[in-house]
Homo-oligomer: A and B are copies of this chain.
């Protein structure tokens, strides 16, 4: 199979830098597509397509006003990503983690650990 669709989940949707930029802009205040086209350096169809992806995964919401469509970030959609990354926080927070975990891993899964500390 090929790579998962960008619309398969928030992780895939957010992998694209332009879409992260859109989310950052639209979390402050809602904006119409035209304003996004002006703010970023890309043409309108690209913006619309990126918004479509974000919409499909629930990362943005739309509101129509006349011929304008106002988009805004749905921050709740980012929460799962935040929580996933958060589960790694304790492993970088203290620098002692590395050394400590290493000793831990040695006793558990690496009985014959006379090997040198080749960290690379």
The interface of chain A, by Cβ under 8 A from chain B, is 3-4, 6, 11-12, 14-17, 20, 23-24, 27-31, 35, 61-66, 70, 72-73, 75-76, 78-79, 81-82, 84-89, 91-92, 97, 101-102, 104-105, 108-110, 113, 115, 117-120
Contact = CB atoms under 8 A, between A and B. Distances in A.
A84 to B, nearest CB: 7
Contacts of A120: 61-63
Given A63-B118, A84-B20, A115-B65, A35 B78 contact: no
Contacts of A79: 85, 92
Contact of A15 (B4, B23, B105): B4
Given A27-B88, A27-B91, A75-B88, 14 more contacts: A3-B3, A3-B6, A4-B17, A11-B14, A11-B15, A14-B15, A30-B102, A65-B113, A65-B115, A70-B110, A73-B91, A76-B92, A78-B88, A81-B85
